[in-house]
Amino acid sequence: MEDALTLDTLAKSAADMAMSIDTIWVLVTAALVFFMQAGFAFVEAGFTRAKNTVNILYKNLMDFAVGSIVFWAIGFSLMFGANTAGGFMGSPSLFNFDIWKGGIPEEAFLIFQTVFAATAATIVSGAMAERTEFKTYLVYSLIISLLIYPISGHWTWGGGWLASMETPFHDFAGSTVVHMVGGLIALTGAIALGPRIGKYSGKRANAIPGHNIPYGALGVFILWLGWFGFNPGSQLAASGSANATAISHIFVTTNLAGAAGAISALLISWIRFGKPSLSFALNGVLAGLVAITAGCDLVSDLGAIIIGTIAGVVLVYAVTFIDNVLHIDDPVGAVSVHGVCGALGTILVGFFAQGSGLFYGGGTAQLVSQLIGVGSTAIWALATGFVLFKVLKATIGLRVPKRIEEEGLDIYEHGESAYN
């Protein structure tokens, strides 16, 4: 601004301001998304037993730490590098971020993507809680942030094949890319591990109540807060009236879907089980938030409420189905919340997207793209998760010995107890 004033210098400085505004927005929302790590840690710690609390907190801490480094080192390039292998992945390169070009500094984009990658990784720990070897978990979390998440992420967000379809697959903030991927890998992990000792007696599922429901509630409040970074931040811009209007709308749809999810899970659990269950309502919030994530930019406010409501209902049935019928032991409901509702929300975009959605006269093109995106990403997550845990099981071992599981991982694996 020390140059002579001309229209051009002013335009330049206006462009600079726009970039600053976008950068602030992305960084602040990245900080909120980072905080979701604490949210996940407390949801998972609260919904498991006291004897494994140190372990679960540790896993949540380390998957972020490890993920931050490996995503920075290579993962980012796999996700955002130039298409290679026909849009299957980005070209790998070592800590190289100028492969990406956009309206904000590349490191702002990097940190935003890093906290997203870490979210996908951390979802898994909940489903595998209370029985997984610590060192195996470290290896798993390295591989998801390094390879699994970036590659399928590339398909949708890195300009890969899903983004290049005629009607591109629409997953605005990651119902599928982040949550479903995390949730389905969680599923393969939970299956590979088998249920916790005492979880099933024959055909009967036993309750293993979480040790501290307030931690669970704290976690959900933090996650809800974080989602106000997750979804509106994914706009990656705030400058100009179009962006400002968009992020405001996304804020509202996100909030309404979470609220609707809480209400419908409350009502359904009340009707089905005779009492309104807090643990279901808390999961209902998350279900609504996960489901709205794909279409938070395109659906109307009312659409958001409907999507959240559906997600809350489906959540309750998914949890009990997976537990009572499939007998897959997912201590915190990660598979239902992130896997099932992630897929659900993404598909519902095909119905509720204003303009392209079926209910808005947009025909089935979008819906088909959504199904292709969900389906292909699901196959990827399931297949890689399956192989990964198979290999880990055969090599370094997946599950702690019976005695350690019974007495608690905290003391035997870490030599520390959570409460003294």
Binding positions for another protein, 216-275, rule CB under 8 A: 269, 272-273, 275
For 407, other C-beta atoms within 10 Å of its C-beta total 11
For residues 118 and 179, is the Cβ–Cβ distance under 8 A? no
Q: Using CB distances below 5 to 8 A depending on partner kind, what does residue 38 bind out of another protein, a second copy, none? A: a second copy
205 binds another protein (CB under 8 A): yes
* Structural tokens at position 264: 């419908």
Residue numbers 277-336 binding another protein by CB under 8 A: 277, 279-280, 283, 316, 319-320, 323-324, 333
Residue numbers 401-420 binding another protein by CB under 8 A: 403, 406-407, 411-412, 415-417
Closest to a second copy by CB, 181 or 238? 238
Q: At what angle do helices 301-320 and 278-292 cross, to 10 degrees?
A: 130
Closest to a second copy by CB, 163 or 282? 282
Closest to a second copy by CB, 225 or 358? 225
Task: Please report how close the Cβ of residue 315 comes to a second copy at its closest, in angstroms.
Answer: 14
Sign of the dihedral defined by the CA atoms of residues 21, 25, 28, 34, in that order: negative
CA distance between the termini of the chain: 60
* Degrees, nearest 5: CA angle 372-287-163: 25
**Number of residues assigned to the chain:** 420
For residues 289 and 261, is the Cβ–Cβ distance under 8 A? yes
Quote the DSSP letter at residue 363: -
Reduced to 3 states (helix: H, G, I; strand: E, B; else coil), residue 223 is helix
Task: Please report how close the Cβ of residue 185 comes to a second copy at its closest, in angstroms.
Answer: 21
Task: Please report how close the Cβ of residue 46 comes to a second copy at its closest, in angstroms.
Answer: 9
Q: Using CB distances below 5 to 8 A depending on partner kind, what does residue 316 bind out of a second copy, another protein, none? A: another protein
Contact range with another protein by CB under 8 A, out of 185-193, 201-209, 285-293, 356-364: 201-209
Closest to another protein by CB, 22 or 330? 330
SS3 per residue for 59-119: HHHHHHHHHHHHHHHHHHHHHHCCEECCCCEECCCCCCCCCCCCCCCHHHHHHHHHHHHHH
| Residue from the set 4, 5, 7, 207 that interacts with another protein by CB under 8 A | 207
Quote the DSSP letter at residue 259: H
* Structural tokens at position 391: 């290999």
Closest to a second copy by CB, 182 or 219? 219
Q: Which residues pair with 90 in a beta bridge?
A: 83
Q: Using CB distances below 5 to 8 A depending on partner kind, what does residue 266 bind out of another protein, a second copy, none? A: a second copy
**What CA dihedral angle connects 378, 380, 382 and 385, to 10 degrees?**
-140
355 binds another protein (CB under 8 A): no
Q: Using CB distances below 5 to 8 A depending on partner kind, what does residue 206 bind out of a second copy, another protein, none? A: another protein
Task: Please report how close the Cβ of residue 71 comes to a second copy at its closest, in angstroms.
Answer: 10
* Structural tokens at position 156: 């949708």
Contact range with another protein by CB under 8 A, out of 104-112, 208-216, 345-353, 366-374: 208-216
E strands in 244-383 = none
Q: Using CB distances below 5 to 8 A depending on partner kind, what does residue 407 bind out of another protein, a second copy, none? A: another protein
Give CA–CA dist 283/339, Å, rounded. Answer: 13
- For residue 6, which amino acid is it? T
Contact range with another protein by CB under 8 A, out of 102-110, 162-170, 198-206, 345-353: 198-206
| Residue from the set 9, 206, 245, 248 that interacts with another protein by CB under 8 A | 206
Task: Please report how close the Cβ of residue 188 comes to a second copy at its closest, in angstroms.
Answer: 25
Q: Using CB distances below 5 to 8 A depending on partner kind, what does residue 19 bind out of another protein, a second copy, none? A: a second copy
Closest to another protein by CB, 238 or 418? 418
How distant is the alpha carbon of residue 167 from its chain centre? 24
Q: Using CB distances below 5 to 8 A depending on partner kind, what does residue 272 bind out of another protein, a second copy, none? A: another protein
For 387, other C-beta atoms within 10 Å of its C-beta total 12
* Structural tokens at position 356: 């392209």
Could you list the residues that contact another protein (CB under 8 A)? 198, 205-210, 269, 272-273, 275, 277, 279-280, 283, 316, 319-320, 323-324, 333, 403, 406-407, 411-412, 415-417
